[in-house]
Amino acid sequence: MKVTVFSSKRYERDFLRQHPTLTRVTPHIDFEFLAMPLSEGTAPLAAGSDAVCAFVNDALDAPVIARLAEGAVRCILLRCAGFNHVDLAAASKHRIKVLRVPAYSPFAVAEFAVALLLTVGRKTHKAYNRTRESNFSLAGLMGFDVNGKTIGVCGTGKIGRLFAKIMLAFGTTVLAYDVYRNPEAEAMGVEYVSKDDLFARSDIISLHCPLLPSTRHMIDAEAIRKMKTGVILINTSRGELMDMDALIKGLKGKKIGACAMDVVEGEAELFFDDHSGEILEDDRISMLMSFPNVLLTPHIAFCTDTAMLNIWGTTVSNMLEFKEAGPDATLTNEVIIQ
Ligand code: NAD
């Protein structure tokens, strides 16, 4: 079985080659690792492969899928949970299976959302830089207690529920909005409310829903208008859940107290590569990074040793299941158009 891996980074290749669990199976798979992302231009490089392995910012729209089909690729192995970047109708038309890793470590992402909150809340990133310069002043380092706050969780799936559980342990009130109420979350003490109610009552709002037409720009000017002045926004889900123009306006107008993001609209052009020394062309990302109360990390919430093992373990088992069951079987982690 030949698999062309796009957007592959050295840390992943080393992990795959060295991990004792994975090295038992990986020698039987002919991996070709390419650092470049998947695009219409690079898709022909996969010609003759049984599968391509793609990550969150690889393009998998209809033209790319058509190029993959021309090269007789029969399977797309997503080494991520989200599939908002895949044209499923195009994949189905070309009889290309789409397999994903539905859950690799919700703990990794939920814990990172907490880390973002505590970092903007206690300014640990600023204190760290300051002490390295032998500046031990406390000026400007006043933070806030999370205890006693009202937390709004948008999306109570695997990650949102864990985030809510951790927040409850901090002694907070947790409100949630989701299209489905989760009984496990309710049993923990989470109160489901309408989206507007969540916006109006929360001191801190954390986003954990997938990017869908119904969630794109769910944080827009209207939503921000309904929020408390000084609200803290945390986004570890997808950048496009936030309207960047509205976010910048909310920050400039001091309606938003702070915003911590692991994902941002336009990240595909920048993230996972070193652009230091370049002038960034994305004016909105540049502006966001200039705000002292904005914390931006490069989509690393998933990046733990446990998550990496699960990502590659599931990707390899998806690949082997596809090989054994063939193109007509319905596979365990297949993404099917609803
Ligand atoms: P999940 O599928 O378990 O949960 C998603 C929840 O969102 C579900 O409860 C669903 O009902 C809810 N939802 C769907 N549409 C909604 C809407 N219109 N309004 C409100 N809620 C809605 O997913 P998960 O594993 O918890 O992951 C959540 C998201 O986190 C993923 O979709 C992905 O975008 C993001 N993620 C980010 C990273 C990272 O490294 N930053 C890693 C993994 C996942």
Tens digits of residue pLDDT in 108-143: 999 999 999 999 999 999 999 999 999 999 999 999
* Distance, first Cα to last Cα, the chain: 29
Determine phi and psi for 234, rounding to 5 degrees.
Answer: -125, 130
Residue nearest to atom 33 of ligand 1 (CA): 237
- Domain 2-104+304-324 is in which class? alpha beta
| CB of 209 closer than 6 angstroms to any ligand 1 atom | yes
Distance (angstroms) between ligand 1 centre and the Cα of 236 equals 10
Residue nearest to atom 12 of ligand 1 (CA): 155
ipTM over 0.95: yes
SS3 category, 284 = helix
pLDDT at 204: 98
CA atoms within 13 A on the CB side of 231: 27
For the residues of 99-146, what is the DSSP string, one character each? E--S-S-HHHHHHHHHHHHHHHHHTHHHHHHHHHTT----TT-----S
Distance (angstroms) between ligand 1 centre and the Cα of 129 equals 33
| CB of 155 closer than 6 angstroms to any ligand 1 atom | yes
Q: Largest Cα–Cα distance in the chain?
A: 66
Domain spans of the chain?
Answer: 2-104+304-324, 106-296
Distances, alpha carbon 301 to alpha carbons 16, 83, 108, 268, in Å: 19, 17, 6, 16
* Topology agreement, domain 2-104+304-324 and domain 106-296: yes
Q: Which helix (H) or strand (E) holds 232?
A: strand 231-235
What stretches in the chain show pLDDT beneath 50?
none
Determine phi and psi for 98, rounding to 5 degrees.
Answer: -120, 120
pLDDT at 35: 93
Residue nearest to atom 35 of ligand 1 (CA): 237
* Topology adopted by domain 106-296: Rossmann fold (3.40.50)
Q: Which helix (H) or strand (E) holds 78?
A: strand 75-78
pLDDT at 32: 93
- The residues carrying an active-site annotation are 238, 267, 299
Nearest ligand 1 atom, CA 236: 41
Cβ atoms 152, 126 nearer than 8 A: no
Nearest ligand 1 atom, CA 159: 26
The pTM assigned to this predicted structure is 0.91
Q: What is the pLDDT of residues 206-240, one digit of tens each?
A: 999 999 999 999 999 999 999 999 999 999 999 99
